[in-house]
A = this chain, B = another copy of it.
Amino acid sequence: MTTPQGTAARNTRQRSAVATLLSQVEGFHSAQELHAMLRDRGERVGLTTVYRTLQALADAGDIDVMRPPGGEQLFRRCSDGHHHHLVCRTCGRTVEVAGPAVESWADRVAEQHGFVDVSHTLEIFGTCRECAAGR
């Protein structure tokens, strides 16, 4: 879908497996988790390939990448367009949130300081209702 141009890009069993898995699981998962899930499903895909495929998907903008404090980066298939995430620290439940005001604020602030080619990262962490009640 989001295959710009240039490098050929061939259809392989492994890529389909990763894409399919991503379309079926909820929330964010690490490359290693996804690799383990594929293994459990009986799909035979190398860890290296999982990493490569995830990176390609991320570059293409088909999946989101998040780097939580403390370790591995997490991947998730998500809706098109720019948005951010509200993530539960305990259960990992994720809510996509849009903040047009934040986008324009960030751009404006950067512009005021003479910065161009601006991007930003924003993640909100908290404890969701269920997890807060559960203890």
Residues of A within 8 A of B (CB): 65, 67, 69, 86, 88-89, 95, 97, 99, 101-102, 105-106, 109-110, 113-129, 132
Q: Is the CB of A114 within 8 A of B86?
A: no
Query: A116 and B101: CB pair below 8 A?
Result: no
- Across-interface contacts of A101 in B (CB, < 8 A): 101, 105
Beta-carbon contact of B88 and A99 below 8 Å = no
A128-B114 CB under 8 A given contacts A120-B122, A122-B120, A123-B121 = yes
Q: For A95, what are the chain B residues with a Cβ–Cβ distance below 8 Å?
A: 113
User: What is the minimal beta-carbon distance from A135 to any residue of chain B, in angstroms?
Assistant: 12
A4: min CB distance to chain B, Å: 20
